[in-house]
Amino acid sequence: MTKTFTVAVVAMGLFAGNAIAAELPKATQKAMSDLKLDASLLAGLDAELDVPKAWIDGARQEKDVTISGTWEPREFRELTAPFRERYPFVNLKYDRAGTAGRGMQILMALQEGRVLVDVVTAIADAMPHYNSAKALADLRDLPTFKNIATEYAAADGTYLSHKLSYRCMSYNTDLVKQSDLPKTWDDLVTNPFWRGGKLALTNNPSSWLLGLWGQFGEKWGEDFTKALFEQVRPQKRKEGLTALTALAAAGDFAASLPSPEWVAKRYEAKKAPISYHCPEPVPVTLSQIAMLQKAAHPNASRLFINWMVSREAQIVQYAASFAVPVHKDLQLPQFVPFQNTIAGKKLSVRDDALLTSDLNTKMGEQWDRYWNTGAGAKAP
């Protein structure tokens, strides 16, 4: 009996009692087979997808749901293939845009009386503004809400996280020796190897540095930021995180910071000379998923969000994009790219409350002074 057939037969047996989940979607079977996963990881999916009949009936009438996110179109198609098999009566309309400014554009339109989307993901720094506007619906009635650890969801139910993202360093393995990789963040600014433009930065300090300021305190943060720009003198780049990771793989510089682990994993899978390294503590950000309070398709939205944090979607999401699951039962090494540089280390999970704190203001002011002046190496 082949691995694929074994997975399919066992999984179908798990879900035989539910009309919606009676047969495991072919896309899910493929993901399980490709990742060589045991079907036991899907145990409990039946209960996770057991939503009120009113949601199903309402979604049939609504027909559509509009989702805003940062997935590439190919990723979104692969990720949502099982959803479309389970709920063929829901038409997924996907609006892709970059993180920067996207969340605020949706919120500004909402305040003008225009509802652009139903579901918004990767809200990032705009989250405090959504909270102030009371723009998000309470999702605590989702069966899958309890799958997420409390630190990965809003206490008032206004968002869930659908993946974890690490914000460490991608480095070119032809240009960097293992012995030069910093064990701690202090090592990064004290090791002469990293000086003179070998390190490239993006202008995204809140995604990695803010959490470190919050963990170690203002004095440490100020001293580290000063040393980073005045001693290390990194390249200050205009590219985004994904593009900068690609340039590290191409050898334009030794390493990029911050870098998404899933992007580096893609290039490694293509045999590019790239790997990933996390000084301790490991910066972690959350990618939120939420529904607008005024969503035009609330039932279809709830179906989609509930499915996104089910164990099925979390596994297929990893298969499609190497995105780290948030599901409490999937916090496993096989779902963490470059887990050898992350496992066993202390994490620095950014508390979104920091985004509206005085500490963020102080960090931003210091960072901007350096970013907008001559400190640092000149980018080509």
**Per-residue pLDDT tens digits for 212-223:** 999 999 999 999
Q: Give 378's pLDDT tier (boundaries 50, 70, 90).
A: low
20, pLDDT greater than 60: no
Q: Give 379's pLDDT tier (boundaries 50, 70, 90).
A: low
Distances (CA, A) of 201 to 163, 229, 348: 23, 10, 19
- Mean pLDDT, the chain, integer: 89
Quick: pLDDT tens for 329-374.
999 999 999 999 998 999 998 877 788 789 999 999 999 999 998 7
**Using an 8 Å Cβ cutoff, are 170 and 276 in contact?**
yes
Average pLDDT on 298-320 reads 97
24, pLDDT greater than 60: yes
Average pLDDT on 315-338 reads 93
Identify the structural domains of the chain with CATH numbers, from first to last: 3-164+286-335 (3.40.190.10), 167-281+349-371 (3.40.190.10)
Regarding pTM above 0.85, the answer is no
* Beta-strand pair 274-277/160-172: antiparallel
Calculate what percentage of the chain has a pLDDT beyond 90: 74
Pairwise CA distance, residues 210 & 349, whole Å: 10
- 11-25, 147-161, 196-210, 329-343: least confident range: 11-25
pLDDT for res 353: 76
Q: Give 72's pLDDT tier (boundaries 50, 70, 90).
A: confident
- 63-67, 148-152, 258-262, 264-268: least confident range: 148-152
